């Protein structure tokens, strides 16, 4: 923790003599209103270029974008809870003052913020809090159009847990909660948890060959729902698995799907010609998809983010593992330097390099999300990152390819495909070692025609329908195995 500085006569701290004097005279304005006239500022002082606030249940982020690297110290004050930040070498300007109005009444953690010139060459921020928080204060270097950033992440003392959230939404039975344990890394060469051997996919490919198509294209002759024969096989398999459990206990088998709307918060993703941000469009599509999937029997969905805030790549994967997801679907809207590029794509992880130069370029671009979004690498869990990024398995990639083919075949029915097969590259967000994972590029937001479609409610519904049908098709040919949970 930074060393707590001595408190000078400070009108920004409740109870200080100067604040009492100001109140006695009836003044209610903050010192920030008059400080510039009272305190001469040195030439060449840093300037705040922009201020942003990103409130969310998981944490609230405050960002100060500035023209140079800032040095800040902070300390906490209790009863009532406050966080005090002193920033050196900073000129108090109108942009910084506007931070006061940026804090909304529904912010989970910040009640309001006060800004003032604490002493020559030092600006003080006081965050009046709704509860005690666990702050992280760090800087981010210039990247992707951003200047230097000073970032304040205010986390609750008890972090929001995705499993707890799903329990609160009554999507897990108490028996499942009691039986839930972290998933161990999958062993190379074995099917991943919740998946069966890959035999049914051969039938899918054979059906496609007889129809004169490929699995990555629409398959009108292949039913979306399983045939009665296949349904009987799935039911028989489930019954056999139930008998195999100790004591013949009853199996509770809900399918859990993690949906990952890309980007968010400080990371807008790609931006279309009319100003549409990828982060907003993919969140809307994910919410529509969530509703459609949860309307199916025995299906529940976890969103890695449900609002406009940034989630680091590793945390997206870890959230899916915490709820023991059966599938992970990351949703994006592609962009390219040429506006003529168009079409939908589906990507899975690759162990041996990208399947094309375009796939490699896209993966490299998407993997910059942590730099653009702003991650406190000083507190980054390197051990967790090693587990997530080094233990990907052949079985996970094999299952992911099956899922990708099923989803791409359905998307091909509503939009042109950028490439008629599932592509592979080293996407960091797909590196859960034990969950079949795909990344869906819904369309090119950099293409004006496709941007207009992506902004259309009807088309977003079509995309959600297509991905839902693809997931149903995947489970029709790859029914989930029973997990070690009892009800």
What's the per-residue H, E or C state across the chain? CCCCCCCCCCCCCCCCHHHHHHHHCCCCCCHHHCHHHHCCCCCCCECEEEEEEECCCCCEEEEEEECCCCEEEEEEECCCCEEEEEEECECCCHHHHCHHHHCCCCCCCEEEEEEEEEECCEEEEEEEECCCEEEEEEEECCECCECEEEEEEEEECCCCCHHHHHHHCCCCCHHHHHHCCCCCCCCCCCCCCCCCCCHHHHHHHHHHHHCCCCCCCCCCCCCCCCCHHHHHHHHHHHHHHHHHCHHHCCECCCEEEEEEECCECCECCCECCCCCEHHHHHHHHHHHHHHHHHCCCCEEEEECCCCCCCCCHHHHHHHHHHCCCCEEEEEEEECCCCCCCCCEEEEEECCCCCCCHHHHHHHHHHCCHHHHHCCCHHHCCHHHHHHHHHCCCHHHHHHHHHHHHHHHHHHCCCCCECCCCCEEECCHHHCCCCCCEEEEEEEECCCHHHHHHHCCHHHHHHHHHHHHHHHHHHHHHCCCCCCCCEC
Span 187-212, average pLDDT:
40
Q: Using an 8 Å Cβ cutoff, are 411 and 344 in contact?
A: yes
Residue 102 clears pLDDT 90, i.e. is over it: yes
Q: Residue 201 — φ and ψ, nearest 5°? A: -65, -30
Query: Is the distance from CB of 47 to CB of 66 less than 8 angstroms?
Result: yes
Cα–Cα dist 426/13, whole Å:
50
Q: How confident is the model at residue 361 (pLDDT cuts 50, 70, 90)?
A: low
pLDDT of the residue at 238 = 43
Domain boundaries in the chain? 17-156, 162-477
| pLDDT given at position 212 | 40
pLDDT at 254: 85
> Given this model, what pLDDT does residue 165 score?
76
By C-alpha distance, which of 481, 419, 486 is closest to 197?
Answer: 481
CA distance 422 to 346: 5
From 60-74, 173-187, 315-329, 411-425, the region with the lowest mean pLDDT:
173-187
Which candidate, 365, 338, 335, 313, places its Cα nearest to that of 143?
A: 365
196, with CB counted inside 10 A (0-12, 13-18, 19+), is middle
pLDDT at 363: 65
Write out pLDDT tens, residues 216-264.
333 333 333 344 444 444 444 444 444 443 444 343 478 999 999 999 9
**Confidence check: pLDDT of 150 > 90:** yes
Is pLDDT at 289 greater than 90 in this prediction? yes
Q: Mean pLDDT across the chain, nearest whole number?
A: 76
User: Tell me: the pLDDT tens digits for 264-285?
Assistant: 999 999 999 999 999 999 999 9
Asked if the model's pLDDT at residue 76 lies above 90, the reply is yes
pTM, two decimals, is 0.73
- Tell me the C-alpha distance between 19 and 435, whole Å: 57
Arithmetic mean of pLDDT, 88-107: 92
- SS3 string, 62-128, reads EEEEECCCCEEEEEEECCCCEEEEEEECECCCHHHHCHHHHCCCCCCCEEEEEEEEEECCEEEEEEE
Asked if pLDDT for residue 431 goes beyond 90, the answer is no
**pLDDT given for residue 21 in this prediction:** 37
Q: Please check whether residue 216 is in contact with residue 402, taking contact to mean a CB–CB distance below 8 angstroms.
A: no
The pLDDT value given to residue 379: 60
Strand partners, 155: 134
Peptide bond into 229 cis (omega under 30): no
- Positive or negative, the CA dihedral 183, 186, 190, 195 is positive
CATH number at 162-477: 3.40.630.40
pLDDT recorded at residue 101: 95
> How is domain 17-156 classified at the CATH fold level?
Immunoglobulin-like (2.60.40)
Enter the tokens of residue 125.
Answer: 């921020």
Q: pLDDT at position 382, please?
A: 52
For the ranges 21-25, 67-71, 169-173, the maximum mean pLDDT occurs at 67-71
């Amino acid at each position: 923790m930074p060393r707590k500085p001595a408190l000078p006569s400070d009108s920004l701290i409740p109870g200080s003599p100067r604040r009492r004097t100001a109140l006695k005279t009836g003044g209610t304005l903050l010192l920030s209103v008059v400080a510039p006239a009272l305190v001469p500022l040195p030439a060449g002082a840093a300037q705040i270029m922009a201020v942003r606030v990103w409130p969310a249940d998981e944490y609230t982020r405050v960002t100060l974008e500035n023209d140079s690297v800032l040095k800040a110290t902070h300390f906490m004050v209790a009863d009532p809870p406050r966080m005090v930040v002193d920033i050196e070498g900073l000129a108090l300007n109108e942009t910084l003052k506007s931070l006061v109005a940026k804090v909304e009444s529904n912010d989970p953690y910040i009640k309001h913020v006060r800004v003032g010139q604490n002493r020559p060459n030092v600006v003080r921020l006081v965050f009046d809090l709704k509860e005690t928080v666990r702050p992280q204060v760090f800087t981010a270097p210039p990247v992707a159009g951003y200047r230097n950033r000073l970032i304040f992440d205010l986390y609750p003392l008890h972090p929001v847990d995705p499993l707890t959230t799903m329990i609160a939404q009554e999507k897990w039975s108490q028996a499942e909660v009691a039986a839930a344990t972290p998933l161990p890394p999958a062993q190379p060469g074995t099917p991943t948890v919740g998946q069966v051997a890959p035999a049914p996919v051969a039938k899918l490919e054979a059906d496609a060959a007889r129809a004169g198509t490929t699995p990555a294209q629409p398959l009108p002759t292949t039913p979306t729902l399983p045939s009665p024969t296949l349904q009987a096989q799935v039911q028989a398999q489930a019954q056999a698995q139930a008998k195999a459990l100790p004591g013949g206990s009853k199996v509770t088998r809900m399918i859990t799907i993690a949906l990952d709307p890309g980007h968010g918060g400080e990371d807008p993703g790609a931006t279309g010609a009319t100003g549409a941000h990828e982060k907003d469009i993919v969140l809307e599509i994910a919410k529509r998809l969530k509703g459609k999937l949860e309307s199916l029997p025995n299906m529940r969905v976890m969103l890695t983010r449900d609002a406009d805030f940034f989630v680091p790549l590793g945390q997206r994967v870890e959230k899916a593992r915490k709820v023991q997801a059966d599938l992970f679907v990351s949703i994006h809207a592609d962009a390219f330097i040429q506006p003529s590029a168009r079409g939908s794509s589906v990507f899975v992880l690759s162990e041996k390099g990208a399947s094309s130069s375009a796939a490699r370029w896209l993966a490299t671009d998407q993997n910059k999300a942590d730099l653009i979004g702003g991650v406190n690498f000083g507190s980054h869990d390197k051990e967790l990152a090693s587990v997530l990024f080094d233990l990907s398995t052949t079985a996970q990639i094999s299952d992911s390819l099956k899922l990708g083919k099923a989803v791409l075949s359905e998307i091909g029915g509503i939009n042109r495909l950028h490439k008629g097969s599932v592509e592979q590259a080293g996407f960091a967000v797909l590196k859960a070692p034990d969950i079949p994972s795909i990344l869906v590029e819904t369309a090119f937001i950099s293409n004006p025609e496709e941007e207009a479609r992506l902004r259309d409610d009807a088309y977003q519904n079509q995309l959600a329908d297509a991905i839902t049908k693809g997931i149903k098709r995947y489970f029709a040919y790859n029914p989930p195995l029973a997990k070690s949970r009892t009800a």
